[in-house]
Chain A
């Protein structure tokens, strides 16, 4: 079964540095998402992306965050200047059509020191 793949599995960065988290969604999927889970807390929605633009974003997704689908296969999340509180597991997800379940990647654990 096709999978959503995320790289790297674990990234450690210093506060203030930029990070890019990468995802390859399932190839015939049209809707793309980023979620995050701070340790011990809920899985939280960050952003959804469809037709090469953001369709919805949460309050968490401020000016420090951006997403891009640069080449039709990758879907990236960039954090411009990381903060300690950005430490979390970041999940990418995709779906083919509206009334179908999300398929999640394995996640990238981001640690900001």
Chain B
């Protein structure tokens, strides 16, 4: 079955610290990969996506993610977090051979202390 794992459920960082959130997915052929962010009280917003090409993708607000095919991973990174990055972050995978739906990870709650 298709599954997505996010390694940390809660992360607490101080401002200016570097961030890396892990995401691994089960093998399933061709995939599209996404990171979504949900700020308190708001809807899921797309941070970045990978469909093909350069495995290092840059998204909004200084976030980037690297697709490592051999590790089935798509980790999210930001060199220096801000208080406003406090949110929940979701990794999601579309398995192209298994329809159009997204399979989500459990989410990582990030709290940035000012």
Contacts and interface: CB of A to CB of B under 8 A. Distances in A.
B103 to A, nearest CB: 7
Contacts of A106: 42-43
Contacts of B67: none
A56 B97 CA distance: 13
Contacts, number: 49
B99 A43 contact: no
B46 to A, nearest CB: 5
Nearest to B99: A56
A48 B101 contact: yes
Contacts of B114: none
A106 B43 CA distance: 4
A56 B104 contact: no
A33 interface: yes
Interface stretch (A13-21, A62-70, A78-86, A96-104): A96-104
Nearest 3 Cβ contacts at the A-B interface: A43-B104, A104-B44, A106-B43
Interface of B: 32, 34, 36, 42-46, 49, 51, 90, 92, 99-107
